[in-house]
Amino acid sequence: MGVLLISGTSTDVGKTIATAALAAAALAEGRTVAVCKPAQTGIAPGEPGDLADITRLTGVTRTLELARYPEPLAPDTAARRAGMPLLTLADTVAGIGTLNDVDLVLVEGAGGLLVRMGEFTLLDLARKLGAPVLVVAAAGLGTLNHSELTTRTLAAAGVRCAGLVIGAWPDEPDLAAECNRHDLPRITETPVLGAIPAGVGQWERDRFTAAAPNWFEPDLKNLL
């Protein structure tokens, strides 16, 4: 079982759709895939969350959610406000371990790298698992700073950054987006492994799974 963690430079950068695209690309390579979302916020019990979107887009049904909190806040804040237990690092590692019957486990974080998913961050989880982190970045202004902060934090912690993926590449990119796509590898010293077209989260499954492998560079196969 290989494990790849997916973080973002911030919230709303496209982590869930990028995770779905990674799952589709791995399936196209003949891999078996599971997806874990340790903590989900802003979703009521019984409502479909991020994992439902991934299943809808890819057909992956081996999924695991460990904690869910009703308010759309950082998981530790949402847990405290709801009077619910904080997710622990040990329980999360154990949960991911139950998915060891597949080739690849994708673990989607919450918000950015240092957002508390409970008593820990995604960075803590990556160190505990010895797993690499793929960083989903925005296309527009601000992404160079956010991306460099994230990759520097990973490097300082001794965690391998698997690469960057632009989470929502616009249909008509402006000058900032075009320059950022060129500058991100130079600024972060990390390869950009792909860009997910904006709006593909609304596609039907067959269209999404057929197109997803084409959104990534050939080097992505080394991760899958």
pLDDT in tens, 185-220: 999 999 999 999 999 999 999 999 999 999 999 888
- Please check whether residue 112 is in contact with residue 139, taking contact to mean a CB–CB distance below 8 angstroms: no
CATH number at residue 97: 3.40.50.300
Quickly state the pLDDT bin for 58 (edges 50, 70, 90). very high
Q: Is 128 a catalytic residue?
A: no
Taking residues 56-80, report their average pLDDT: 96
207 residue type, one letter? R
CA distances from 4 to 125, 150, 182, 195, 204 (A): 11, 16, 25, 18, 25
Annotated binding site for ATP: 12-17, 50, 108-111
* Listed residue (88, 36, 40) closest to 68, CA to CA: 40
pLDDT at 222: 76
Which among 5, 19, 37, 213 is annotated as catalytic?
Answer: 37
Annotated binding site for Mg(2+): 16, 50, 108
Provide the sign of the torsion angle of the four alpha carbons 148, 150, 155, 161, taken in this order: negative
Q: Which residues contact 196 (CB under 8 A, 6 or more apart)?
A: 14, 17, 18, 21, 165, 166, 167, 168, 169, 215
**Domain containing 76: what range?**
2-222
Looking at the predicted structure, is the pLDDT value of residue 26 above 90? yes
Looking at the predicted structure, is the pLDDT value of residue 171 above 80? yes
CA distances from 86 to 39, 43, 62, 91 (A): 10, 17, 24, 10
Q: How many structural domains are present in the chain?
A: 1
What 8-state DSSP symbol labels residue 57?
A: H
